[in-house]
Structure 1
Amino acid sequence: MNQPPPITAFAPQPLEERVILITGGAQGIGRGIAQSVLGAGGRVVIGDLDSNAGKACLDEWNVGGRAAFAPLDVARESSVKRWVAFALKRFGRIDGLVNNAGIADPHTGPLAGLELADWNRYLATNLTGPFLCSKHALPALEQQHGAIVNIASTRALQSEPDTEAYAASKGGLVAFTHALAVSAGPRLRVNAILPGWIATYAWRNPQSRTTPKLRRRDHAQHPAGRVGTPEDIGALAVYLLSPQSGFVTGQHFVVDGGMTIKMQYV
């Protein structure tokens, strides 16, 4: 008589000994993801334009050799190549990549006045950056049957006026996600997270931290009852980077406290 599969215990440290690269990892959502990875037993290499913020992370985390920082400009291929080489030299492997770095401000003004250079700047950072980082980390990731997580935005699905460049870059990142998942599978899994309103006040460079100025009505816009935090994104990122999500690829996940499914009437 055949026996059913046994009950399998969940790993208490799902990323134990795994090396995760995180762009824009010194502040905001990126820092939240990095801290979640560390909490899940992983090792992190963060890259950021702000070297002071990167060094502050290492000082404040105090996790010894489990974390490393190197300057990174995701829009410059030479910078990306150096950063990936630094990670491999430091840890000898890459198990995961989080493409988080991006221009955060979605508002560029009316399209008729949008300069081509500004349009290209959004695409270079928010879309070309993930392409370059994925391209150069791909060989090492494939060796480990690793995972990529792209941080897009709910603005890939809905918009405010005068946000065309940002929306286009994030929408492109969602499409890039499922295209790469098909091309790189089954050696590599690729998914995207689409954050909504995430309060990052406490996750900035020490010199830029402020007390959140959130109103009751800000929280009330969300069916979950509150504005999000970087830990909310980090928790899902850990799952998508871990073997527990081994049957999940090419998908995008909205993490917005239910805000995009709530009908709004004024």
Structure 2
Amino acid sequence: QSRWERTLAVNLTGPMLLAKHCVPYLRAHRGAIVNLTSTRAHQSEADTEAYAASKGGLLALTHSLAISLGPEVRVNAVSPGWIDSRDSQARRDEPLRVEDHAQHPVGRVGKVEDVAAAVAWLLSGSSAFVTGQEIVVDGGFSRKMNYLD
């Protein structure tokens, strides 16, 4: 299996199969699905075609499922940007640079807790009128113009 096929199998086919097989339970309990996509669905670095395509496809799958499964099941996506997901020991041993944090409008690189909070909100009753949407959790990074001096 090629890298392309493997990446799409994990990042796109996997969530589709999970949704397909969980739909009866989700409908019975008026559940919600939150897909974890990425800001890479909107912006790329060189040689990330499979990843970017899989995350872009997952965004499209998200809004398609929201229409197909509603009103019983809500489907949304969270797209993290730069999240420092290293374990606490690695973060202590090799802290990120001040410049890494400074390039984010909120003044820091994201934490896994930032993503978890967005997912928790989308799964809660507080977001009962939200479906088919993407929440970008990147500290404003993707909204900042970046020009070389």
Distance 2:85 2:117 in 1: 15
Aligned-pair distance for 1:179?
Answer: 0.1
Among residues 148, 164, 183, which one is paired with 2:49 in the alignment?
164
Match of 1:217? 99
Match of 1:91? none
Unaligned regions of 5+ residues in structure 1, if any? 1-115, 204-208
TM-score (norm: length of structure 1)? 0.54
Distance 2:110 2:123 in 1: 21
String of CA shifts for 1:47-86, please: whole Å, max 9, x gaps.
xxxxxxxxxxxxxxxxxxxxxxxxxxxxxxxxxxxxxxxx
Match of 1:180? 65
Match of 2:75? 190
Structure number with greater Rg is 1
Match of 1:83? none
Distance 1:165 1:150 in 2: 17
For residues 107-146 of structure 1, the aligned pairs below 5 Å read: 117-146=2-31
- 2:146 equivalent to 1:254: no
Match of 1:235? 117
Distance 2:36 2:52 in 1: 13
Distance 2:138 2:83 in 1: 8
Aligned-pair distance for 1:161?
Answer: 1.1
4+ runs deviating over 3 angstroms: none
TM-score (norm: length of structure 2)? 0.95
Q: 3-state SS of the aligned residue for 2:87?
A: helix
Match of 2:84? 199
Aligned-residue identity in percent: 59
More helix as a share of residues: 2
RMSD: 1.1
Look up the equivalent residue of 2:82 and give its one-letter code: W
Counting matched residue pairs gives 146
